[in-house]
């Protein structure tokens, strides 16, 4: 257990519905990242926060995706009007400020869009 938790662990939804995932990072880690991993592939970067500020977003993050990190603690990732192509594992990771430090990953939320 890395100390990073994600909820829910699994989510099945119908196409067109909205879903929201939550990540609770290690408390003193100021950087928080979201990645998406499809089956048999490496994780792809979606977005990252330093404290409460969202500093970078991938072009993979369409306007249907939004992420927040109020108060610099937990983070939420919302997908609106889900599509079948959104089916993937959504991973959260956190890190202390130094670039040499490792990112600690959560167990992920597996999304299935029917």
Partner 1 sequence: AQTVTQSQPEMSVQEAETVTLSCTYDTSESDYYLFWYKQPPSRQMILVIRQEAYKQQNATENRFSVNFQKAAKSFSLKISDSQLGDAAMYFCAYRRSGSRLTFGEGTQLTVNP
CB of residue 41 to partner 1, shortest distance in Å: 6
* Cα angle 8, 65, 107; round to 5: 30
List interacting residues with partner 1 (CB under 8 A).
1-2, 4, 33, 35, 40-45, 48, 56, 91, 93, 99-100, 102-103, 105-108
How do the residues of the chain divide into helix, strand and coil, expressed in percent and rounded to 5? 5, 50, 45
Q: Alpha-carbon distance 60 to 63, whole Å?
A: 9
Output 40 or 70, the one with its CB closest to partner 1: 40
CB of residue 17 to partner 1, shortest distance in Å: 25
Q: For residue 1, what are the contacts with CB-CB under 8 A and spacing of at least 6?
A: none
Output 17 or 51, the one with its CB closest to partner 1: 51
Output 14 or 39, the one with its CB closest to partner 1: 39
């Amino acid at each position: 257990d890395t100390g990073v938790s994600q909820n829910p662990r699994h989510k099945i939804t119908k196409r067109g519905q909205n879903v929201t995932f939550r990540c609770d990072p290690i408390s003193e880690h100021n950087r928080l990242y979201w990645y998406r991993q499809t089956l048999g592939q490496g994780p792809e970067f979606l977005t990252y926060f330093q404290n409460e500020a969202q500093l970078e977003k991938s072009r993979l993050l369409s306007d249907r995706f939004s992420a927040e990190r109020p108060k610099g603690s937990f983070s939420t990732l919302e997908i609106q009007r889900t599509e079948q192509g959104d089916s993937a594992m959504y991973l959260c990771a956190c890190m202390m400020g130094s670039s040499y430090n490792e990112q600690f990953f959560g167990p992920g939320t597996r999304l299935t869009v029917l």
